[in-house]
Amino acid sequence: MTSQSKSHLSRQKSLHTFLPTLRYSQSTEESMALNRVESGAIIIAGSGMCNGGRIRHHLKHNLWRQQSHVIFVGYQAMGTPGRALVDGVQKMKIAGEEIMVRAKIHTLGGFSAHASQSQLIDWLSHFQGDKPRLYLVHGEQEAKSTLHQAVQAQGWSAHIPELNEEIEF
């Protein structure tokens, strides 16, 4: 057994101390079987933006259930199924089927893996010498515009490219 496997097993054992009923779904079949649970379950799935993977299957089988709750821990980008749910969509098409959204949708803020605007400005402040031009390509338009103004106020040249704009370095 590799040291990485031993470490994973150790973490798994310590989790079972606090969550004795925790079960991992290792296979697609085990994951799909969760949809037959009627007594209640917490399904933790790497959702990304709900564009693909097992989360789509879990949403298809649970969004229509009034007793279900979907909790998003992290940002959901505009134009994604996750964002549509956060914004209150009433119906969602999943695997060719129209699903009514009766589940309660929740978001937990403060868990982003991304730096805040002030953290980005602080990071930039540590660069010495000539300041290279910045290209702001990630995030929603309003957030990019605000960051654009903030970095320019710090003396940096910044540009927000248009969709499909090509930049030569």
CA atoms within 13 A on the CB side of 17: 6
Q: What is the pLDDT of residues 3-44, one digit of tens each?
A: 665 555 565 667 778 778 888 888 888 888 888 887 777 877
Residue ranges, the chain, pLDDT below 70: 1-13, 47
Q: What would the two tokens of residue 131 be?
A: 């300041």
Q: What would the two tokens of residue 83 be?
A: 């964002």
Q: Which residues contact 15 (CB under 8 A, 6 or more apart)?
A: 22
Domain boundaries, the chain: 3-108, 117-159
What is the structure's pLDDT at 19? 79
CATH, domain 3-108, list 3.40.50.10890, 3.40.50.2300, 3.20.20.150, 3.30.1490.20: 3.40.50.10890
What SS3 class is residue 126?
Answer: coil
